Chain A
Amino acid sequence: MKRISALLILMFLPLVALLGCGKKEGPAPQSTGSGSAPEPKAGGELNLFGWSEYIPQEILDGFTKETGIKVNYETFASNEEMLSKLLAGSTRYDLIQPSEYAIEALVKQKKLQPLDPARIPNLKNIAAAFRNQPHDPELKYTVPWMGTTVGIVVNTEKVKEPVKGYKDVFQPKYKGRIVALNDAREIVSWVMVTMGMNANDVTPENLAKIKPTLAEWIKLVKVFDSDSPKTALLNGDVDIGVIWSGEAALLYQENKNKFQFILPTEGAHKAIDSLAIPENAENKIGAEMFMNYILRPEVSKLISDKFPYTNPNTEARKLLTPEQLANPASYPPLAGMETFHDIGKAAADVDKLVTDLKAAQ
């Protein structure tokens, strides 16, 4: 028995070590001892809470090199995850990266600090299309990071028929060949627009109406993945999918003859992921310095090189190659598209509905 416990300890050691590392890497905002002074220009730390696969490490390094501010970068995979961690309040973040409907909710609850435009002169680089958005019309609280949309990707080697919209994707003949975002709100919105509803009109009546179609669609999907939906397409496990535009852009870069990007005719929606400062941030000045830094054309270009979403920075776009700008998934016509709005408690109904239908298969 003694030997067994020794063995078990041996087995769990790597695990414990891993946990230890995880803790060390995470932001430790309470320990202000490491950031020597409240004066941020002299150093200090910046606790950044951003999307995974969205912020290139070289940008963080460049910022630290120039300002001496150490950036602790923690990641999330959905707005909801970010909100629940932020609002739990145990960790203080100086900078977060919410999308428009999360911004709307946060502004409503007065959880964001207004920005000081004097410290962010590069804000002038933001294109007009990214201003006057309902969630933050005057860019009082947020700096747009990237625009994205959700669209259809087709492996043209396997799918020969023309695909134009959601209803061409979710057909019985593609059963077991589809990848979809693992995001209840997204998939519900696809059915809603296909049935002629507004994607923001999430009411119990509408949810009841879309339920039969949604059930059919969910049965057809092989993989639900929000983190890296391109993987299943690249691996050949599926042939068609509805995924983030940036992921589609990467597939297009990989093989532009094989992977085709299509905006659904029923109506796509756009998302604007932005940087914002939570009300309890400790290093507001450092956060604003970071915002100004990423708005520099040459820095913003680096983001586009790594993560080819829609760059909102007019000056940075001038630095991109014609190929980058010609990528249909990176620069779709975002102009007329609507954004998601905060739907409050209805989010729970949406989640329940999708869980329900997935379990019913």
Chain B
Amino acid sequence: MNTATGQVIELQGPRRRPGVRGWLLLAPLLLWLFAFVVAPTAIMLVYSFCERDELGQVVFELSLSSYARVFDATYLKILLSSMKYAAITTVICLVAGYPVAYFIGRAREGVRNRLLMLVMVPFWTSFLIRTYAWMSILKSEGLLNGLLLYLQIISAPLDIMYTPTAVVIGLVYSYLPFMILPIYGSVEKLDNALIEAAFDLGAGPVSAFSHVIVPLTRPGILAGVLLVFIPALGMFAITDLMGGSRVPMIGNVIQNQFGQARDWPFGAALGMTLLLLFSLFFLLGLRKEQEG
């Protein structure tokens, strides 16, 4: 991260404003951002202040009722429990992903690329198919229970499918690579000399890790935490398929407004509130980072 900003500053030296060519090069990205980020968000913003009619069509009448409903205790409670699930997922991903990322980052070049490949292989098949695969592993008469029963480790099948545990397993499985890859990026750049210096100056392994390695890989950790926490919070497919739709997450509630409940303005209001929340967190984090 630091070297990247350094390069930007160097480039800005001779020429401060991008010329026509610069804009041309940027144009596809800007168009993409406008068409798929700015415009849809603007539409959602407008919808969130509208009303719905009997059939569920959006009526363009200014109304704050959707936002009033967002602060209903039910939805706040759902938001909190979704945050809890996302936080548990993030912590497990971090604890499990950091050693993996560190190992890959420190491995020999050839081995490293192969290991990275392995991290990414799952992305070659659809995420839904992989979720169904997990269902057939975890189900009552599934592979896991079959194996454990066969080995006589358990006497009755474990009840995993359609429980919060299944949801967390699904979430951790889906998002682990998003934790490993950014941390790997930081670890790979880690200067060995600094770690050796820490040992030379009398630091034990624990102290070297917590005072040198972790601070140096912090950008990767932060990126990983964001990449896991935010999508995990909005996920609805895993909670539906592996959790049996029993405990709604905020993602399910939003999705439901655009489907069954037919209340687009309310769904839009929920979405906008989440967006606002994330932006706030992000800005706070950014400011803290700059201060540090």
Contacts and interface: CB of A to CB of B under 8 A. Distances in A.
Given A355-B74, A361-B247, A14 B262 contact: no
B54 A345 contact: yes
B234 interface: no
Given A80-B261, A347-B262, A359-B77, A235 B248 contact: no
Q: Chain A contact residues: over half helix, strand or loop, or mixed? A: helix
Chain A's interface size range is 35 or more
B120 A80 contact: no
Interface stretch (B168-176, B177-185, B283-291): B177-185
A222 B3 contact: no
Interface in B45-70: 52, 54-57
Nearest to B220: A4
Interface in A315-361: 344-345, 347-348, 351-352, 355-356, 358-361
Contact of B264 (A84, A176, A183): A84
Interface in A228-277: 232, 235-237
Given A8-B181, A235-B161, A358 B56 contact: no
Given A87-B56, A224-B244, A355 B253 contact: yes
A195 interface: no
Given A80-B261, A359-B77, A1 B4 contact: yes
Nearest to A76: B259
A78 interface: yes
Contacts of A1: 1, 3-4, 185
A345 B263 CA distance: 10
Nearest to B142: A235
B102 interface: no
Interface string B144-162: 0000000000000101011
Most buried by A among B125, B188, B240, B264: B240
B248 A359 contact: yes
A223 B264 contact: no
B259 A78 contact: yes
Given A1-B3, A222-B162, A361-B246, A7 B181 contact: yes
Contact of B141 (A235, A347, A358): A235
A3 interface: yes
18 contacts: A3-B185, A8-B181, A11-B181, A78-B260, A80-B56, A182-B240, A223-B246, A224-B246, A225-B245, A235-B139, A237-B140, A345-B54, A351-B260, A351-B261, A356-B74, A358-B246, A358-B248, A361-B247
Given A221-B244, A232-B162, 8 more contacts: A8-B181, A11-B177, A14-B125, A78-B259, A84-B262, A221-B246, A235-B161, A359-B77
